[in-house]
Amino acid sequence: MIKPADYYEKEISWIAHERMRDFAIKYLNDFPDYFMVKPASSSGKYHNSWSNTIGSDDVAGGLAKHVKAMCYVVHSLAEAEMLSSEEHDAALIATLGHDAIKYGFEGGTHTTGTHESEGAVFFRQCLQKYNATIPYADSICRAIEFHQGRWAKSDPAKMFPEDFDKIGQIVHRADMVASRPMVKFYFFD
């Protein structure tokens, strides 16, 4: 099976700060086994057809492809929004992990309605596991927890963009772009 850190080798290379890059590799390799093979949407709604594919041992599934497409969008938006290099790296880490627990900790048949908050818990667990202190950790966690913006299932409800910093806003926008049915990323051809 393809390891997430291998699949995202190019995207990891965009992370300039060594401490953040090292954490990203460890974090990715702790993702649930299902991450590389599941589709981005279990229902086929809310995502484009190329991201709703099921992977195999040597072909990434739609969920992994969706995250790869998002990384490209975040990388581009970070430059356009003039993020600092640490903010850029934080936005990429949040993007890599925003759907890490999309099918729950146990890897159910369907995507969970709480994957945002579970993803934030998983991110914090990985920080603790690796005793990692990285810049913008709180922003990364918030970006993961509320990446669905006004559609996030959270308590209390969050209002976009008032409750989000630049990192959260970019991750949310990239998720919206990368999941639109009419958007095609040619690097998947």
What pLDDT, in 10s, does the model give residues 150-177?
A: 666 655 555 555 667 899 999 999 998 8
Closest CA to 174 of 86, 85, 99, 62: 99
Give residue 9's domain range. 4-188
Closest CA to 11 of 131, 185, 152: 185
CA distance 63 to 154: 22
Q: Which two tokens stand for residue 26?
A: 């460890």
For residues 116 and 157, the answer to whether their CB atoms sit within 8 Å is no
- What is the per-residue pLDDT for 149? 72
- What is the per-residue pLDDT for 1? 81
Looking at mean pLDDT, say which of 138-147, 148-157, 180-189 comes out highest: 138-147
Per the structure, how many domains does the chain have?
Answer: 1
Residue 37 maps to which CATH number?
A: 1.10.3210
pTM, 2 dp: 0.91
- What is the per-residue pLDDT for 70? 93
Q: What is the pLDDT of residues 52-66, one digit of tens each?
A: 667 777 778 888 989
Q: What is the pLDDT of residues 30-50, one digit of tens each?
A: 999 999 988 787 666 666 666
pLDDT band of 96, cuts 50, 70, 90: very high
Determine the Cα angle at 65 with ends 130 and 53, to 5°.
125
